[in-house]
Structure 1
């Protein structure tokens, strides 16, 4: 039988948990369909982007592309950075309401996100529910990113949280594993309905 743990604090991931992120709409308009996919592959976009979640400035990546002779790629990447707000294509259905309901029920809420410090200011404009979090730890500001166990430990220490009463939600299995390695109770986010059921069961919060 599974052991039920009583949680008083929940830590949310943001990208594709609260806010839907897709880099394609922020690319120059000529990159659509397969052309956009080919560009992202050529740039090794998702692997390199993780470096910037961990604190590297985008200017370094742009400069690397130019020095390698890929001026077109450099221009496209700079366009992405300059139009990053277009990559935030909407709110994940139901999560903002879940956050509001948990806050109203007295659950303490924080966020821990892999996000470049250069572009994070767009998140607050895209998702008003972020104001419900007592604090948000941004990987790009810390110089370290999930799933490195150190970032979870840093969050727990900064917020003076008891790992035994703290839960963590994320859509990445790797990030979930990192959180579990420091003792956090976790939920792999797939949709807000399942997340709500888990949060209600684990916090016992009335009205969630």
Structure 2
């Protein structure tokens, strides 16, 4: 006798790169020399902004991270990093095309719609202040910097499932980073790497989601 997989009831979205267009350069360009902005935002992460943000996403406070930035790169770079974090909403350029409508369509069709993000507890408020519709659409959001748990670790997904009151095998997760997709699959969640909203819609339909 064939075993039928549970129907999908809930869809979980990462934030940056899936719902929100995050661009660090947008918070720095025009305020600092162009060549310095290029160096800060370069792929080789010369000044470690991504690493310092990562520490904050893990739960460290800006006050804890700033002395490390100054030790590593000097006072000027530490001051720029502080300014960048203070004006973090400038890096949140827009909602990515089609993502809001996809979430609204899921909501209208009766699916649970949730957020799961690696984000600092000190800056997550900017996302909801700049895009208040997220508060209306999402049934709940779990934030790494608040919980001190982090994708792609299994305990973070498991915490989210418990917090949301949903089951892994009837849930779908979208993230733009492959290791985070793999982390979700490791705990039994259906997961896809997000490229754009149209592909995400096709991925959901492939699982029988009615949108």
Report the TM-score, using the length of structure 1 for normalisation.
0.90
Mapping of residues 10-159 of structure 1, within 5 Å: 10-27=11-28, 29-31=30-32, 33-40=34-41, 41-68=45-72, 70-130=74-134, 131-159=136-164
Secondary structure, counterpart of 1:115 in structure 2 = coil
Q: What is the rounded CA distance, in whole Å, between the counterparts of 1:36 and 1:69 in structure 2?
A: 15
Q: 1:197 corresponds to which residue? A: 202
Count of equivalent residues? 204
Question: Contact (CA 8 Å) 2:19, 2:95: kept in 1 or not?
Answer: yes
Residue segments in structure 1 that go unaligned for 5+ positions in a row:
none
CA RMSD, 1 decimal: 1.9
Secondary structure, counterpart of 2:94 in structure 1 = strand
Q: Once the 2 structures are TM-superposed, how far is the Cα of residue 59 of structure 1 from its aligned partner?
A: 1.7
Q: What is the rounded CA distance, in whole Å, between the counterparts of 2:190 and 2:121 in structure 1?
A: 27
Q: What is the rounded CA distance, in whole Å, between the counterparts of 1:42 and 1:59 in structure 2?
A: 21
Question: Contact (CA 8 Å) 1:15, 1:21: kept in 2 or not?
Answer: yes
Q: What is the rounded CA distance, in whole Å, between the counterparts of 2:25 and 2:168 in structure 1?
A: 37
Please state if 1:160 is matched with 2:161.
no
Deviations 1:21-52 (A, max 9, x none): 11122227343544213134332121221111
Q: 1:176 corresponds to which residue? A: 181
Q: Once the 2 structures are TM-superposed, how far is the Cα of residue 164 of structure 1 from its aligned partner?
A: 1.2
Secondary structure, counterpart of 2:207 in structure 1 = helix
Q: Return 110-119 or 153-162, whichever deviates more.
A: 153-162
